[in-house]
Amino acid sequence: MEPLIRLINIEKYYEAGYGKTFVLRRITLDIKEGEFVTIMGPSGAGKSTLLSILGMLDGAWTGEFYFVEQPVHRLNNKQRVELNKKYIGFVFQSYHLIDNLTVYENLDIPLSYRNIKSSERAGMVGDILDRFHIVGKKDLYPNQLSGGQQQLVAVARAVIANPRLILADEPTGNLHSTQGKEIMELFKRLNDEGTTIIQVTHSETNAKYGHRIIDLADGWLVNPQKTA
């Protein structure tokens, strides 16, 4: 069976004066459907950049990238956005909820970009509010929630469109340990239900929720097969 993600010699660099500054060097790796992978490494190692490439947010790289058997490197921006919409959900360190929208409206955003009828969308938002036990918070604005609650909404938003892949960039970075644990438990449950998860983290504890760890250093892949 083909892996969900296949990267071959992915490189990313910036033009800097007379030369190039590399952010990622010759990244080659496979990630199978249903895996829970942790990307680790010191600051500036290229973790978030790799996550952006995997999430189709960053299109300026070289190499080959296959996602659900599609050659992403040959797709145009519009086709990449389509892949993102169809298969990927994002969770960020600083939640990135939209301040002037309520919890309900924040959850509705990904659906609004996916040609889903509004009645159907209402049902999906209702389900997810229920599933994450945040029905009581639906009319609140992000600044009326605690950090943990905000991240809970962010995870709910990431999964609302039933993605096959969740990309999480330091999802517990702004949370205290109890809240962080709850979020990681949640990821674990989602992974057990079949969702592939790739997280970037500095936390060894969080890394243990995953199946394997990918170490990055100065843009290079250090140990692609290390288990968590």
Partner 1 sequence: MSDVRLAVRGLLRSPGFTVVAVLAIALGIGANTAVFTIVDSVLLRPLPFPEPERLYALAVVRDDPFRGINDTVMPDFLYVYFRKQDRLFEKLTAYNSHRINMTGAGDARSVSGAFATADFFSVLGANAALGRTFAPDEDQPGHDGVVVIGDNLWRSAFGADPAAIGKSVRLDGESHTIIGVMPIGFAFPAPLDVWVPQGVHPSGHNSQLLSVMGRIKPGVSQNQATAELDTIIKQIPGELDVRHRPPARVVSLLESVSGKVQRSLLVFLGAVAFVLLIACTNVANLLLARSAGRRQEIAVRAALGASRWRLIRHLLTESTLVSLAGGAAGLILAVWGVPALVKLAPAEMLPRAEQIGIDGWVLAFTFAIALVTGLGFGIIPALQATRSELRESLSLGGRSLTGRHERLRGALVVAEIALSLVLLTGAGLMLKSFIRLRSVDTGFRAEHLITMTVELPDSTYQTASQVQAFHGRTLEKLSHLPGVMASAEVNWLPFGSGLMMGDFRLEGGRKFPPGLMVDKPIVSPGYFRTMGIRLLRGRDFTANDNGDALLVAVVSDSAAKRIWPGADPIGKRFTEEEENPKPKDWVTVVGVVQDVKQMGMADKPRETVYQTSAQINRPGWLNHAAFVVRTATDPEGLATAMRGVVRDIDRNQPVQSIATMQTLIDASTAEPRFQTRLLGAFSLLALLLAAVGTYGVLAYSVAQRTHEIGIRMALGAERRDVLRLVLRRTLMLAGAGVLIGAAGALAITRVLQKFLFEVKPDDPATFVAVAALLAGVALAAGWIPAWRATRVDPVEALRYE
User: Which residues in this chain contact partner 1 in the complex, by CB under 8 A?
Assistant: 48-49, 52, 55, 57-58, 78, 81, 84-85, 90, 92, 94, 96-100, 109-110, 113-114, 141, 143, 157, 161
Name the residue nearer to partner 1 (CB basis): 15 or 99.
99
Give the shortest CB-61-to-partner 1 separation in angstroms: 11
Name the residue nearer to partner 1 (CB basis): 23 or 213.
23
Residue 90: name the closest of 40, 41, 163, 181 by CA. 163
In the chain, the DSSP E strands lie at 5-16, 19-31, 36-40, 62-67, 70-71, 88-91, 165-169, 196-200, 212-217, 220-227
Name the residue nearer to partner 1 (CB basis): 109 or 222.
109
Name the residue nearer to partner 1 (CB basis): 61 or 187.
61
Name the residue nearer to partner 1 (CB basis): 48 or 191.
48
* HEC-encoded secondary structure of 198-223: EEECCCHHHHCCCCEEEEEECCEEEE
Give the shortest CB-65-to-partner 1 separation in angstroms: 16
Q: How far is CA 118 from CA 111, 125, 140, 154, 155, in A?
A: 9, 10, 21, 21, 21
Name the residue nearer to partner 1 (CB basis): 143 or 178.
143
Give the shortest CB-90-to-partner 1 separation in angstroms: 5
Give the shortest CB-120-to-partner 1 separation in angstroms: 16
Give the shortest CB-173-to-partner 1 separation in angstroms: 13
Please, which residues bridge with residue 8 across strands? 64
d(CA 127, CA 185): 19
d(CA 68, CA 130): 30
d(CA 3, CA 1): 6
> Which letter does DSSP use for residue 41 in this model?
-
Residue 221: name the closest of 59, 65, 39, 93 by CA. 39
Give the shortest CB-96-to-partner 1 separation in angstroms: 5
